[in-house]
Chain A
Amino acid sequence: MLYREAGDFKTSYVADSQTFPIKFDRVGYYVLLGFAFLVMPLIINDYWANSIVVPFLIYTIAALGLNILIGYCGQLSLGTGAFMAVGAYGSYKLMTAFPELNIVFVIIIAGFITAGVGVLFGLPSLRIKGFYLAVATLAAQFFLIWLFTRTAWFYNYSPTGMISAPQREVFGFAVTGPRASAVSMYMICLCFLVISAWLARNLTRGSLGRQWMAIRDMDIAAEIIGVNPLMAKLTAFAVSSFFIGISGALLFAVYLGAAEAGEAFGIDKSFLVLFMVIIGGLGSIFGAFAGAFFLIVGPVLLKLLLVNGLGWPTDLAAHLEIMIIGALILVFLILEPHGIAALWRTIKEKLRLWPFPY
């Protein structure tokens, strides 16, 4: 009924290979974009923007990045938190060293810096695989955080070791610092997310993405058919770290405003993003959105329901929240081991036949 393909004719290769070949999907996508860009800014309030929507957008970028590395290229990484920290400290150093530089460029350059660092720590992936690589990236996690907490240059010798984002503007609207309004924070994160998702989608279905997937599925076979594993693995690390760096820069500059490496970008961040990718669905752009929604928005909604809605004590709610989220993760993984994205695919199949299943 919904998702009908009948009558949706494609007359060119371009039309045939587009991201949303089904009209219903395509229209839904444009409606969603229109809603996000035109309607949300009018209705969003400070609380929803700051505690739910902005972190969701930022973590989605991180999940997109990690999904490229793990889901598309099959390289397990536990260094996400540290790479986010590279983005954050990179943007901080750039913001303070070049006050005139527009924040948009600062964030993009921070992404490139992270890409460089990512490539560096991706080098071992040429020799080691799987869990061993995970341990090697774990070393990146500990080393980088140690570097950022012990080297005073990174936090401009501030006595507490905290970095704090000065105010920066885009088109005259403050997007960082305490004066930034909810709408401007929302808009800058949304723009970065939409561009990142568009980039990720198109990279993964192009030749580069096919190389990554070939490496993921069987690296020796891929090498035999002419995929350069050095290039494929390192580009995966670079692109993945680029997105993660952007999300780290946004998390620090736009959302948190002040951060310290050990507390904001610790190992738990790496696991959080990894869980997003696994729960959302490996090798799926939609999965990154679904996973981030589940793990960022879920707990806040649960807290609102339990504390504000039912009036339960905060500590009880916090403990229950951990238990419920944990249980939901288990339930999801048992019902659909391939993540929410696979669940969504099944639902879509069902919807195509609804209401006349055979």
Chain B
Amino acid sequence: MKMTRLAATLAATMIAAGPALADTLHFPNLSYRTGPFAAGGIAFADGYADYFTLINERDGGIGGVPIRYSECETAYNTERGVECYQSIRNDSPLVLQPLSTGITYQLIPRTMEDGIPMHTMGYGRTSALNGEVFNWTFNYPANYWDGASVIINYLLSENDNSLEGKKIALLYHNSAYGREPIPTLTTLSERYGFELVTIGVDSPGQEQGSQWLQIRRERPDYVVMWGWGVMNPTAIQEAANIRFPMENFIGVWWSGSQQDVRPVGAAAHGYKALAMHGTGTDYPIYEDLRRYVIEPGKFAGTGDEVGSVLYSRGMYAAMLAVEAAKKAQEIHGVAVITPAMMRDGMANLEITEELMAELGLPDFGPAFSVSCQNHGGSGAAMIQQWDANANEWNLITDWIEPDRELIMQMAMEDSLSFATENNMTPACLN
């Protein structure tokens, strides 16, 4: 009896939730605010949501059409991710942002089939660079292989352009995410003659004793980290415990937020990480955010993430989505765009420095343009260093370019093998 009533309520809600509102632009977010990776997931989701709220409140939507924002909790779990995808796929989602490489791999073939664009900013399948194969997947402005190459280029510049005989350890989250940079680093190690040691940490990454024992034994000159969630502070703490010099410890952009270094306290001083965009509240956009979103209390979550690294990244992702939607409206001349139109907008997106300044984010991210052949943007990133005394990240370099020629070549190989596996003929849509 109880079950039937529950079922009846459910049926009623399903019907009520069913029809999509035709005159809105639906931006879903496959977020994770629970589970071992929630610390990063919450900040990103808040930034993503707040920017859409800002556009709605300040501009009345994109091109006059209000944004409908929805969230679905994945807990960074691929099964939940698939469930979330199924629940939104018929609701004309304009762009997916799963914030998980595992879920991305799961969704790439499905989104291709369903014609839904996916933006995996700084994560996901690197070979989605090749838009002729991965028509619906975008990973601008930078991807993992860019990140690996930028780190090596940075280390080259630190070592008078030679890494000959050096030993670099890669400490990676033992998942699809953490294994992504291995091919690039292997190729680069052959080219520059450094020795690469790869050390995997099983998810979620609270247990790293044996890995750091191995690092202590191997005595690498540098440790590069591909970590996420609870793995990051644990690794930094372990590095501090074995007195590994922090300035020789470099994380990817997913291992470089406040949540990662604060738990370690003063010992984290000097830890470095990649930065794919600027951080902090010193950008003009925060005046608008404060006025339209934060002060009226319309912010997502608890509002204490504003200005943090991952909040900025979520905001950046939302900004790129909004700009792509504007582009799509411009190309197709209609205000209420479909996912297919959104894809065209993303494939022709052009971000210039003037545009960034106009949006209130001067020098926040690199200028880049997307084309069918290149879904990856510029790939440039900066290096930031944690100052534990001032409690802030400082950018210590300018934009460092990756070795795009090599990355493009490797991405071509990988994407073409995907195409042959799936009997596809690489071609541009349109």
A residues at B contact (CB < 8 Å): 46-47, 50-51, 55, 149-150, 159-162, 164, 166-167, 177-179, 255-260, 262-264, 266, 300-301, 303-305, 307-309, 313-315, 317-319, 322
Contact = CB atoms under 8 A, between A and B. Distances in A.
A39 to B, nearest CB: 16
A252 B109 CA distance: 14
A47 B73 CA distance: 16
Nearest to B38: A315
A164 B105 contact: yes
A256 B78 contact: yes
B90 A47 contact: yes
B285 interface: no
Contacts of A266: 203
B262 to A, nearest CB: 21
B78 A309 contact: no
Most buried by B among A46, A50, A160, A178: A160
B259 to A, nearest CB: 16
B83 interface: yes
Contact of B87 (A47, A256, A257, A262): A47
B405 interface: no
A46 B91 CA distance: 12
A99 B197 CA distance: 36
B182 interface: yes
A164 B78 CA distance: 13
Contact of A317 (B73, B87, B183): B73
Contacts of A304: 10, 13-14
B299 to A, nearest CB: 13
A262 B114 CA distance: 28
29 contacts: A46-B86, A47-B86, A51-B82, A51-B86, A51-B87, A55-B79, A149-B202, A160-B176, A164-B105, A255-B79, A255-B82, A256-B82, A256-B106, A257-B110, A258-B109, A260-B176, A262-B174, A263-B78, A304-B10, A305-B10, A305-B13, A307-B72, A307-B73, A309-B17, A313-B71, A314-B72, A317-B73, A318-B75, A319-B34
B66 interface: no
Contact of A51 (B83, B105, B109, B414): B83
B203 A263 contact: yes
In the A-B complex, the 3 residue pairs with the smallest Cβ-Cβ separation, listed nearest first, are: A315-B33, A309-B13, A178-B109
B31 interface: yes
B422 A166 contact: yes
Contacts of B78: 256, 258-259, 263-264
Contacts of B426: none
A160 B73 contact: no
Q: For chain B, what secondary structure do more than half of its interface residues adopt (helix, strand, loop), or is it mixed? A: helix
A50 B421 contact: no
A159 B198 CA distance: 13
B22 interface: no
A54 to B, nearest CB: 10
Interface in B1-40: 6-7, 9-10, 12-14, 16-17, 31, 33-34, 38
Contact of B90 (A46, A258, A308, A314): A46
B421 A166 contact: yes
Nearest to B83: A51
B295 interface: no
Most buried by A among B10, B176, B203: B176
Contacts of A256: 78-79, 82, 106
Given A309-B9, A314-B31, A149 B86 contact: no
Nearest to B300: A313
Contacts of A178: 109-110, 112-114
Nearest to A177: B109
Contacts of B16: 309
Contacts of B175: 161, 260, 262-263
B146 interface: no
Given A47-B86, A301-B7, A304-B14, 19 more contacts: A46-B90, A47-B90, A50-B82, A51-B83, A159-B179, A160-B105, A160-B179, A178-B112, A178-B113, A255-B82, A257-B106, A259-B78, A264-B79, A304-B10, A304-B13, A309-B9, A309-B10, A318-B34, A318-B73
Most buried by A among B73, B180, B200: B73
Given A178-B112, A305-B9, A260 B102 contact: yes
Contacts of A160: 101, 105, 125, 176, 179-180
A257 B13 CA distance: 29
B57 to A, nearest CB: 19
Given A164-B105, A262-B174, A315-B33, A159 B414 contact: yes
Interface in B100-142: 101-102, 105-106, 109-110, 112-114, 125
A314 B31 CA distance: 9
A305 B13 CA distance: 7
A275 B79 CA distance: 18
A50 B180 contact: no
Contacts of B110: 178, 257
Most buried by B among A178, A262, A301: A178
B34 A263 contact: no
A161 B176 CA distance: 6
Contacts of A47: 86-87, 90
A264 B90 CA distance: 26
Nearest to B301: A315
Contact of A162 (B7, B174, B176): B176
Contacts of A260: 102, 175-176
B82 A164 contact: no
Contacts of B113: 178-179
Given A263-B203, A301-B10, A161 B179 contact: yes
Contacts of B202: 149, 262
Contacts of B83: 50-51, 300
A279 to B, nearest CB: 15
B274 to A, nearest CB: 20
A259 B176 CA distance: 9
Contacts of B125: 160
Contacts of A257: 82, 106, 109-110
A201 to B, nearest CB: 25
A113 to B, nearest CB: 23
Contacts of B414: 159
B34 A315 contact: yes
Nearest to A180: B113
Contacts of A55: 79
Contacts of B421: 166
